[in-house]
Amino acid sequence: MYVSEHVQRRDLNAAVQQGTGTTLWQWIRQLSAGRCFVSDGQNLVTEDVTVVEGDVATISCRVKNSDDSVIQLLNPNRQTIYFRDFRPLKDSRFQLVNFSNSELRVSLTNVSISDEGRYFCQLYTDPPQEIYTTITVLVPPRNLVIDIQKETAVEGEEIELNCTAMASRPATTIRWFKGNKELTGKSEVEQWSDMYTVTSQLLLKVGREDDGVPVICLVDHPAVKDLQTQRYLEVMYKPQVRVSQNYPLQGLTREGEPLELTCTAFGKPQPTDMRWLRVDDEMPQHVVVSGSNLLISNLNKTDNGTYRCEASNAVGKSHADYMLFVYDPPTTIPPPTTTTTTTTTIPTTITDTTATTEPAVHGFTQLPNSAEELDYGDLSGTPVPLTASTEALPTVQLSNASLAFQPDSRAGEEGAIRSVDHAVVGGVVAVVVFAMLCLLIILGRYFARHKGTYFTHEAKGADDAADADTAIINAEGGQNNSEEKKEYFI
């Protein structure tokens, strides 16, 4: 049975002028009773909607196996938002996106917390079908602030930082980072009406390495991404002192050489007072201190000790030590590089047999009595004989250039003593080893020659004796002369 189109439009306009979903619902029930066909295969489909406050939410009511039944959308107060493609509710934020026999899609702009709730999709069959979708409104934190207990901290102190995320929905999660390292804080949640305020507390012990490092408060919330704020730490610390050696750059500090030291100090605030001192002794008078530099122009053994550089600032005082040990100067003189020395040997012959030979003196040599006796044209290496004389030959001291090439007599004597000691020890050890080898050889040969089986003649002739007494009497060397040896008892 069908109702005329004129009657449908007239009754629909009357219901729209009423502006209430209830009147429209009653009219639909009456209309469905006379016009609509029922299909057991029809059903409604919709999805829940999650939207950030201020964004656009889209509500969709879809029909599977549609038979042209009427679809309408109602708000949480069960007021009709859309009936088919007509909007009886006077709220311009609702706009029709799509309408067909199988779908009614509506958008809601500028969503607020008051729009949250259940929205109903109705399909007017006999009996009517209804399904609801839930709109959830997310509210990101409106303000994210880090409060620090002390703007400037001192090395070793524990400071308190608080991060607050205000008016969010749902409650946010706060994470802490120091640089790239994540830290653990303690959070508290407060609820005001439908909003949540979260405060996280972080206790942090700071050191000098934390100066200038950012502390980051990061928010995890479904309504916002990468929301964070940060504060840079400002840490004061006492000076860090270091002593460096400028001269000599390498090698040992030797007697007679200069020494230059430099003291460097870094701190926050920058050190203002820096001084040099000698530990457990007074500073030598010839030491020159100029600011952060210490100079000793001529080192000697009395300069040995520990030299300390002290630096201080408003936080505290620090120092660094330098231990000085002065070594002996070099004892060897390097040979000249531009002088070539030629040595000429002049043999000396003395015919007087009564003359005694003088011992050689280190660094001296004997020369001829007169210049005529030496032919300077024959200095190429030919020996020149000298005339016989009983007088002592004069000695002339050689030049420094010649002495430079003479070995040190003390070094030679020490080397000779060491060589003699080693030779004596080696000789004694060799003699002992040789004696032991000879003894072993003699013992071996002796035991080899006296090894074997030995036979005696004591029992000769006693092999055929009937008894032991007869054997003894008949044995050679036994009791064969027993008659001659008789004992008498008185």
| The overall pTM is greater than 0.85 | no
Low-confidence stretches of the chain (pLDDT beneath 50): 1-41, 339-414, 416, 478-483, 490
* pLDDT score at 489: 57
What would the pLDDT profile of 96-132 be if each residue is shown by its tens digit?
999 998 999 999 999 999 999 999 999 988 888 999 9
* pLDDT score at 15: 41
* pLDDT score at 180: 93
**Fold exhibited by the domain 142-236:** Immunoglobulin-like (2.60.40)
* pLDDT score at 368: 43
What would the pLDDT profile of 264-312 be if each residue is shown by its tens digit?
999 999 998 899 999 989 999 999 999 999 999 999 999 999 999 999 9
CATH 2.60.40.10 holds for 238-324: yes
**Fold exhibited by the domain 44-138:** Immunoglobulin-like (2.60.40)
Walk across the sheet containing 94-99 and list its strands: 43-45, 57-64, 103-108, 94-99
Query: Start-end ranges of CATH 2.60.40.10 in the chain?
Result: 44-138, 142-236, 238-324
* pLDDT score at 298: 94
